Amino acid sequence: MCTWMTEQIGIAGAARGVPDWLKVTRANVFYDHPVSAPFDHALIIDFVNPDAGVGARVGIELSAASAWELVRAITAALESPEAQADLAAERHVLPGPEHETVS
């Protein structure tokens, strides 16, 4: 069923978009100097598809406070019965280890 439940939060940051839908296979998450957001450091998330070239990327740069709000909103959205059912059924779970760190 349609949930029609949307968590709306104010955020401060910057985003780099693409003209159309993009298959993404990886999220790179780090807290470092941003490119565009007017902060010294930012929580940066790049949704990418490494097999499709470096331009296959949706990037966001958020203030730390905004990122925490996003975490809260995501957690709240995942409380929906539909999300809980998908999680319980382990739908769309990626195979193998997906956590990697580099330095």
Number of residues that bind other proteins (CB under 8 A): 22
Q: Is the separation of the CB atoms in 34 and 44 below 8 Å?
A: yes
Distance CA 19, CA 71 (A): 26
What is the distance in angstroms between the CA of the first residue and the CA of the last residue of the chain?
43
Region from 2-10, 42-50, 80-88, 89-97 binding other proteins, contact rule CB under 8 A: 42-50
In contact, 36 and 16? CB cutoff 8 Å: yes
Token representation of residue 82: 């539909």
Q: Which stretch binds other proteins (CB under 8 A): 2-10, 24-32, 67-75, 88-96?
A: 24-32
19 part of the interface to other proteins, by CB under 8 A: no
Judge whether 47 and 27 are in contact, CB under 8 Å. yes
Contacting other proteins within 48-67 (CB under 8 A): 48, 50, 53-55, 57, 59
Minimum distance from CB of 33 to other proteins (Å)?
5
User: Which residues make up the interface to other proteins (CB under 8 A)?
Assistant: 16, 28, 30, 32-36, 38-40, 46, 48, 50, 53-55, 57, 59, 101-103
